[in-house]
């Protein structure tokens, strides 16, 4: 809520495997803040989406580029070209406005929005989410994960420590030499007071959540995690030279690490369970995991 350009959130990112074209991460790493909504799209639409988000931010902030600096838009992407006619460039600037204006606490998962054309472990992937409640100093905090899953080789899917992927009926002919070409975008949000350093530590642990689902972080995969907290905000226009922020005692990070790892793992599985069988470009098909369970 509010004006995120005027009230920036502390943030960090971690490039698990860099076969990706996301925008805005350089400044996130340098300054440790995010000042726009985070937009997810497909690979060839990042330019259009960036233009849309810039126009949205200019509409919300008359000072940008005039009496203050410009804006660092954060755009993330995965290649949905197997199902989507990605060359058609069907995503338009107005879709950015629509997505932001329709953002709600309760939202759809699966084959929706940027997740519509995504694939995961040879199945239909998409948007997935999960969260955990953590108690610190007798107060409850939330840590949540949201993923756009578009990664993993056929047959590698692991659920609850069982390699269910190898046993899926329609995957019985698996080419073990097939190279992974997918990606995953992971966004971690929390209201726990954390520093940029601690947020970076969290971002790195997302790897474990992916590994639990069977990922080997293939050479051709763009695996990126962005983590932010709403507890510590940086004012664009500050009335003081020194600002105060709170951080968690590092000795309490283990419980937060565990919550993050579990949330990432569950979010990937959730994206599969919520996605529907889809026939896309040139008759290409991805079946829903729900057809096999």
For the annotated catalytic residues, the residue numbers are 183, 221, 223
Longest alpha-carbon distance in the chain:
64
Distances (CA, A) of 98 to 113, 124, 134: 11, 24, 33
DSSP assignments along 35-103, one per residue: -S-EEEEEGGGHHHHHHHHHHHHHHH-TTTTTTS-----EEEEE--TTTS-GGG----HHHHHHHHHT-
Nearest to 189 by CA among 242, 256, 276: 256
Segments in the chain forming alpha helices (H)? 25-31, 46-60, 93-101, 196-212, 253-274
**Chain center to CA of 224:** 7
């Amino acid at each position: 809520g509010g004006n995120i350009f005027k009230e920036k959130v502390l943030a960090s990112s971690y490039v698990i495997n860099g076969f990706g074209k996301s925008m805005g991460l350089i400044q996130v790493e340098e300054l440790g803040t995010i000042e726009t909504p985070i937009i997810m799209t497909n690979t060839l639409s990042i330019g259009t989406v960036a233009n849309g988000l810039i126009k949205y931010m200019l509409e919300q902030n008359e000072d940008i580029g005039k009496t203050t600096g410009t804006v660092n838009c954060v755009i993330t992407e995965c290649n949905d070209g197997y199902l989507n006619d990605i060359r058609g460039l069907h995503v338009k600037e107005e879709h950015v406005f629509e997505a932001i204006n329709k953002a709600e606490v309760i939202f759809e998962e699966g084959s929706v929005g940027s997740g519509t054309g995504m694939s995961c472990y040879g199945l239909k992937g998409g948007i997935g989410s999960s969260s955990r409640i953590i108690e610190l100093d007798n107060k409850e905090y939330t840590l949540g994960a949201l993923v756009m899953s578009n990664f993993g080789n056929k047959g590698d899917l692991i659920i609850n420590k069982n390699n269910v992927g190898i046993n899926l009926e329609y995957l019985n002919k698996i080419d073990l030499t097939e190279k992974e070409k997918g990606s995953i975008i992971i966004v971690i949000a929390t209201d726990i007071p954390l520093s940029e350093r601690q947020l970076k530590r969290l971002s790195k642990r997302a790897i474990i959540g992916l590994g639990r689902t069977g990922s080997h972080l293939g050479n051709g995969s763009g695996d990126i995690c962005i983590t932010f907290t709403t507890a510590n905000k940086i004012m664009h226009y500050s009335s003081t030279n020194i600002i105060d922020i709170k951080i968690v005692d590092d000795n309490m990070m283990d419980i937060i690490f565990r919550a993050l790892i579990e949330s990432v793992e569950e979010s990937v599985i959730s994206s599969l369970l919520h996605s529907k069988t889809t026939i896309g470009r040139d008759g290409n098909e991805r079946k829903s995991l729900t057809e096999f369970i």
